[in-house]
Structure formats: C-alpha cells, structure tokens
Structure 1
Amino acid sequence: MFYDPLTIWSFTTFSTLLIAGVLLVSWIMWPGENALGYWGTAFVLTTMGLAGLAARGVVPGFVSIELSNAALLLAWGLGWNGFRAFDRRRPVMLLPAVLIAAWLAICQLPGFRDDAVARMWVMLAFTALLVVLSIRELYRRRADRLVSRRLAMGLLAVHLFTMFARPGLLLLGVATVNVEGNVLLDPSLMAYAFELVAFQLLMAFCVIGMVRERRERHFEEAALVDDLTGLLNRRGFQARTREVAAGGGPVAVLVLDLDRFKAINDVYGHAAGDEVLCLFAQVLRNNLRGTDIVARLGGEEFGIVLPGADVGTAREIAERIRLAFRQAGEGLPMREARLSASIGIAVGELPALAPVEALSVLQERADMALYAAKQGGRDRVMVHRPGDWNAGQMGGERRAASPHS
C-alpha cells in the first residue's frame, strides 16, 4: 500500500489548525460563549502536539516526547473544561495540570522515554480519563435535550473506542508499534490520522451546534416570556397548556385579576403599578407547584393551569394566593391601595378527543367565575359549577357563580 506519511501528518496538522481557527472566529462572533474559546485553544495545542510528534528525530527528544504529549493532554483538559464552560460551570484546571506533571515525571524514569509501548499506555490512560470526564460533563445536563449535545457524547464515545482499538490489536498480536514511536515510520498510525481529522471536524460542528442550538432556543423561549414579570406571556401560556391538554385527565383553570389596578396606576404612577405586578408574580411562584403553568395574560390579568387538580385543591391554592398577596401588599408604601385579587376557577376532565377545545371551554368558564367575583365585591375566589352558565353564553347574560365558602 502506497502512502506518504509526511503528507498525511502535515494534512492532519493543517486541518487541526484550520478547525481551531473556525472555533476561535466563532468565539469572537459570540464572545460570551467561552466553550468555543476553550475548544479553539485546545485544537491549537493539538496542532502543536501533532507537529512535535511528527518531528521526532528532527527536534530534541524532550520536545517531541515530553512537551508534545503534554500539549495533547492540556488540549484534552481544555476540551473538558470547554464543556464545563458551556454549562456555565467553573473551570477545573488542577486535574490536567496534575496529569501533565505526572507525565513529565514518569518520562524521567530510566528507559521509559525509549519505550514506545509504555508511553502509549500511559498516554492512553491519561487521555481516556479526560475523555470520560468530557462525556460525563455532557451527560450531566442532558435534560436540556440539545441534539448537538447528544451527538457530541456519541462522538466522544466512538473516539474513545478507537483509542482503545490499537492497544487491543497489540495485545492480540495483530498490530505492532514502531520501536522509536515515530509516527512517520509507523504505517498502522495512518488510519488514526484520518480518524483524528474526522473526529476533530465533527466535534467542531458539535460544539458550534451546541452554542447555536442553545442560543436559538433562548430566543424562542424569550418570545414566550413576559418581560416585566418573568412569567409566561399569553403566547407561552397557550403553547404550554396545549402540551398539558394533550395528556388529557383532570385539570383546573384559574383566571386572576388585580382589583382596582387602574387606580393604583393613576394615584401612584406606572412604576408603582409595575412593582405590584412583579410582587403578584412572585406570590404566584411561591404558592404554585412545579408542574403548574402560570402566565401574565395581559395587563393585570393572569392565568394558571393546575394539571391533575380537583376542586378542593384548586380552591386551596387560590385562597393561599389571595391571602398571600394581601399580606405582601401590607409591606408596600401604597398601603391605602389595599392590594387584593379576584380569582375565578373552573375544573373539569379533559377528554382524549379534542382536549385543547375542552381546555378552552374551561378557561371561558373560569373567566365567567372571575367576572362574578368582581361583581360580588372583589377580593374573593369564585368557582364555576356545572349548570351555572352555558359555556357558549360568553356574550350573553352572566348569572352569579357559587362563592367559595
């Protein structure tokens, strides 16, 4: 088989440097995404390490063995910390530093520097540790369901398997190692050169893909959130409730409205009104379950969906919110405003067929109950009961709802 080792390893080195440039340019474009900087620098160090290994016999042995492999270990350490940076975790450079120090110390043992097989096993152990830590780091935040994160984990796992393939062949006697460990004199390393280029190219795509995917998701989620309160907006509320409705089952819908909110804006100003809205949003967060959906529907109107809740649970949560808001309002300078909220509740069972339409009907009924609470004197919880109103009479006459006793 014809091959030109110098050309192949020169191509590998150049490709690595080119990939590093792509990552570093991407980091400049997105300066807050430090994972790109870590991985770009890691590929620069990989370029230096590969160049040193290929120059065995041309440069001093200390450079081509100790320093070149130390550069590769540092590159993997930066790659691991790049994934930590992506998940907004602190860098941990102590372990890479310890591994590099251990490598340099082991190289000083008599006969070790001249034993290519021994060097291979030590480097394999150190590198494999950093690869496993990288996979573990990615796995920790798998709940974000980023496709590129899963691809990166799979790619690292395949590369780890490839790293162990050569030692396995050596143990089986299928492959041999050049005694001096010179990559230019070992034909069996050609396949690893091509695998390395493929791995680095795909890993760069994965890292950039993780950043792009998260940023796009952030913008999508931002469009579903109310800027002032941090709760879902109407669009986000509709999207989340459609997901809940798809599962069917019992559900409670609450529609909440702040009493005399226009007077607060008129007397104390819009800044005070915004403060009241934020206060109410915090009260909602403090008194709802993790599975509940809450949103600011517009102005001073809020909506809540309680999956799996019955009438008793919905009443209890609504009363807790109402009383907590009154108590929280006592700590504001605008005590004369007597902050309070009216709440309408509707409870029902979502059918397997047309659950979204059924949820919409419940929201209409909760809105009717809220109207009755306003008409009944405000600062109260009203529950819509079957037969109180016809769900289609939204524009017609509204009869009184059953008050919460």
Structure 2
Amino acid sequence: MFDPWTLWAALMAAASILALAMLFAWWMTPTEPALAHWAGAMAMFVLGVFCASLRGTIPDFAVVALGNSAILVAYGLIWTGMRRFDRRSTRVSYVLIGPAIFVVLCLLPPLNEAAVGRVVLMSVLIGILLVFSLEQLWRGDALASRARAAMIVILSIVLALNLFRVLVASTQIDDQNRVKLFADPTVAGLGLVALALAVFLCFSMVLMVRERSEMLYRSAAQRDELTGLFNRRGFMELSLAACLSGGPLAVMILDLDHFKRVNDRFGHLAGDRVLKMLAQVLRDNLRQTDIIGRIGGEEFAAVLPGATANVARQAAERVQKGLSEGAAQLSFGEGGAPLRCTASIGLAMASMPRGAKVTEIEARLMGLIARADAVLYEAKSGGRNRIEVATAEPAAVAP
C-alpha cells in the first residue's frame, strides 16, 4: 500500500497532465476564452497542493495562505470561465476576492490560531464560489445541454463533499494544529476522489465547448447570410418540429411586389437593404414563438403556431404596415426620394393532429405551404399589396 506522500505525488502528476490537456484544448480553440480560465483553474489546483507540500520548508502561515489562496483562485476561475462561456462580462480580478478575504481573516483571532476555523472558513468560501458557478450554469439553460447538466451534477457533488468537510473539520486536524493532508491515507483518498471529479469536470467543459461549436455550425447551415433569418432548410426543419406538437397553426407566405424594379433601378445593394429591412419588420411584428425564414429571393415565410385565422390576418396586416413605414425611411438615388414598397401575402390555416407520424405531419405541412403559396399568387394577380386567405384545410394524408 502506498503511503500518503506517494499518493499525493501521483495525484499532483495526474492533475498537472490534466491542466496541460486543458491548455492544449485552449490552444486548439483560441476563440473560446473560457478554456483559458478552466486551464488556469486546473493549474491553480496543482499549485495549491504543491504549496501545501512545502510545510516544514517555509513558514506555516505562508503554506496556509499560499496553498489555500491558490485553491480559491481555482474555484474562482471555474466561475469566471462559466461567465465567459456565456458571453457575460467578468474580470479576472474577481478571483482574488476570495483569497483576500481568507488571508485577512486568518491574520485575526481566533482563526490565526485555530486550524479547524480555517478549514470551516475555506469550506464556506469554496461553497460560495461553487454556488456562483452553479447559478451561472443554470442561468445558461442547463436542460438544453447534456454537458452543462453533467457539470451541474459534478459541481453539486463537490459542493456536498465540501459541506461534509465542515461537519468533520475537527477530525482533519492533528496534534500540532495542522491539517492532516500528507499524513492520513483517508485524506489522500479524498484527493483521489477529487481528481476523478476533476477529470469528469474537464471532459464536461470540453464537451460543452464542442456542443456550442456544433450548434454554431448547424445554425450557420440553417441561416440566411443576408437577413439572419432561417433559410429554406432551417425554416422547414423548425416548422416540422413545431407541427409535431399538434394543434392549430397558420402559414404565411410573403413576396415583395415589383422587387425586380428596385434592383434594376437602384442596384443590388439597394435590394439587399430592402430585404434586410423586411426581415427586421417580420421580427418586430411577429411573435418570438413564430418561425420566420427567407425561402427564396424576395419570398419569405412564417409559421405561426397556435394562430387562428383572425390572429394570422392581424399579423399579416402589421407586417404590411411595418413594411410601408420601413420603406419610407429608406432613400435611394440622387434625389433621395423615399421608396414605396409593398408585399402580397398568402395565409393558410390548419390543425395538426397530435401523435401522428412524422411523414403525415410533413405531408400536411407541405400541403399547407402549397395552399398559402397558391393564394399568394391570387393576391398578386388581384392587384398586389393584398392579403389572401386559403379557407380550406388540406386533406389529411392517410398513414
């Protein structure tokens, strides 16, 4: 059986490799600054244990202050890394607050003489930093990411172990009023548990970064580069997902009237400005739950879950009004005359069955879009700048 010193030496070596692995992950993904914080956290954990191993070589207070400060900085870096990952403002100086509190309080009685008190204080400060990290993880929508959920579980275990340490603080102190870090195999065993948790934590951190990268790639494949709306692929995927929930919904197909004239008269850059303006009008006048996409050159579509014919028509009227007002603020040409821009809109409503097969729902959605598209061209042939509604629901497709 290995003695505690051998176990701690092996643990520090393994933790050092883990810290280097996190630095390598950051080097491979320099656009993710959170990895730098987390790599620093792993390095500070190693530094904290190393400082503790210097007991007897340097004064005890220096060992206590440096070792525990490094550990607190590590937990602080985990928290600031979470904030950076969620693109929230943070300062690295925040991580020095915990160590400063610890050092100042340890200079004062009774903590300057009571090792038990220092253990309790350290556990409380670590607990606070863990709560900050957990709160940030939860705020970032933990249920949407398995890696985030795993990090919540791991940090919750660390928090529970840390609180348990408060209850058994008196058993961790030897006759010389020192923490039995390198003299008790049980404490070394806890270090092994801590290393295992750190390994899982680092894997979860890297997986969380990978999840977001994959999400960004998927999002880029689903987005129209000019307007930022969903492209046809993204629009169809999300619309199908919305339809699978069942219930009433409406489809809106919108096409700019005489858009070719804008391009021919003022150029394609002017046309791009009009398209971007219309995309913003759609965002401003439709609900956050509505799915909006650019499915063609000047053709846009929206799926309005839960919308009745009345609600859908009111939404279409808002879009037409917003388009007219937005176009009036644009000016092209030498005279800078305001642009008159209108759109024809086709609407179709249906009630999607719950629990139906995906193929059936997809067929009904495609039929609904086709009907909205058909009445859109009725609106165009009827004089443009009109809203036409398809009254009949597409027939159900046999499973």
- Tell me which residue corresponds to 1:246: 244
Maintained 8 Å contact 2:4/2:188: yes
Residue 356 (str. 1) matches residue 354 (str. 2): no
Written as runs of structure 1 = structure 2, the 5 A alignment for 1:329-368 is 329-334=327-332, 335=337, 338-352=340-354, 353=356, 354-368=360-374
Distance (whole Å) between structure 1 residues aligned to residue 166 and residue 97 of structure 2: 24
Alignment of 1:204 with 2:210, yes or no, is: no
Q: Distance in 1 between matches of 2:363 and 2:193?
A: 54
Alignment of 1:281-292 (within 5 A): 281-292=279-290
Task: State percent identity of aligned pairs.
Answer: 37
- List gaps (5 residues or longer) in structure 2: none
1:122-173 CA-to-partner distances (Å, cap 9, x unmatched) read 11111111111111111111257111111001001111222233443457xx
**1:365: Cα distance to partner?**
0.8
Q: Secondary structure at the match of 1:349?
A: strand
Tell me by how many angstroms 1:56 deviates. Answer: 1.4
1:264 aligns to 2:262 (yes or no): yes
Aligned with 2:222: secondary structure? coil
- Contact persistence 2:263–2:271 (CA under 8 A): yes
What is the rounded CA distance, in whole Å, between the counterparts of 1:244 and 1:111 in structure 2?
Answer: 62
Letter in 1 for 2:158: H
CA distance, structure 1, for counterparts of residue 339 and residue 328 of structure 2: 10
SS at match of 1:255: strand
| Residues 149 and 210, structure 1, Cα contact 8 Å, conserved in 2 | yes
- Deviations 1:42-70 (CA, angstroms, capped at 9, x unpaired): 11111111011122112322331111111
The counterpart of 1:177, out of the listed 162, 173, 179, is 173
SS of structure 2 residue aligned to 1:185 = coil
Q: What aligned pairs does 1:2-401 form with structure 2 within 5 A after superposition?
A: 2-92=1-91, 96-109=95-108, 112-142=111-141, 145-169=144-168, 175-179=171-175, 180-334=178-332, 335=337, 338-352=340-354, 353=356, 354-386=360-392
Judged with a 3 Å threshold, the aligned counterparts in structure 2 of structure 1 residues 215 and 93 are, in CA distance, closer, same or farther, namely same
Offset of 1:120 from its aligned partner?
1.2
What amino acid is the match of 1:325?
A: L
State the Cα distance separating 1:97 from its structure 2 match: 2.9
The alignment's TM-score, normalised by the length of structure 2, stands at 0.91
Tell me how far apart the structure 2 counterparts of residues 207 and 176 of structure 1 sit (CA, whole Å): 31
Confirm or deny: 8 A CA contact 1:361 1:391 kept in the other structure: no
Deviation, structure 1 residue 94: 5.9
Task: Give the AA of the match of 2:264.
Answer: D
Distance 2:91 2:65 in 1: 22
Size of the aligned set, in residue pairs, is 387
Q: SS state of the match for residue 65, structure 1?
A: helix
Q: Verify the 8 A CA contact 2:375 2:389 in the aligned structure 1.
A: yes
Cα distance in 2 between the residues matched to 1:110 and 1:288: 63
Counterpart Cα distance in 2 of 1:117 and 1:391: 73
Q: In structure 2, what residue type is equivalent to 1:155? A: I
Change (3 A) 1:368 1:133: same
**Post-superposition offset of 1:217:** 0.7
Distance change >3 Å, CA 325–CA 110, structure 1 → 2? closer
Deviations, residues 2-55 of structure 1 (Å, cap 9, x unaligned): 332221111111222211111112112211211111111111111111011122
Are 1:178 and 1:185, in contact at CA under 8 Å, matched by a contact in 2?
no
Classify the secondary structure of the residue corresponding to 2:341. Answer: coil
Q: How far apart are 1:110 and its partner, in Å? A: 5.0
Provide the C-alpha distance between the structure 1 equivalents of 2:230 and 2:372, rounded to a whole number of angstroms: 19
What secondary structure does 1:75 align onto? Answer: helix
Given that 1:252 and 1:348 are in contact with CA atoms closer than 8 Å, whether structure 2 keeps it comes out as yes
Change (3 A) 1:145 1:349: same
Helix, strand or coil for the counterpart of 1:184? coil
User: CA offsets, 1:349-398, max 9 Å, x none?
Assistant: 223332332222111111110111111111111112239x9999xxxxxx
Letter in 2 for 1:147: R
Contact in 2 for aligned 1:251/1:349 (Cα 8 Å): yes
Cα separation, 2, equivalents of 1:373 and 1:25:
59
Counterparts of 2:156 and 2:142, CA distance in 1: 19
Per the normalisation by structure 1, the TM-score is 0.90
Contact 1:24 1:37 (C-alpha < 8 Å) held by counterparts: yes
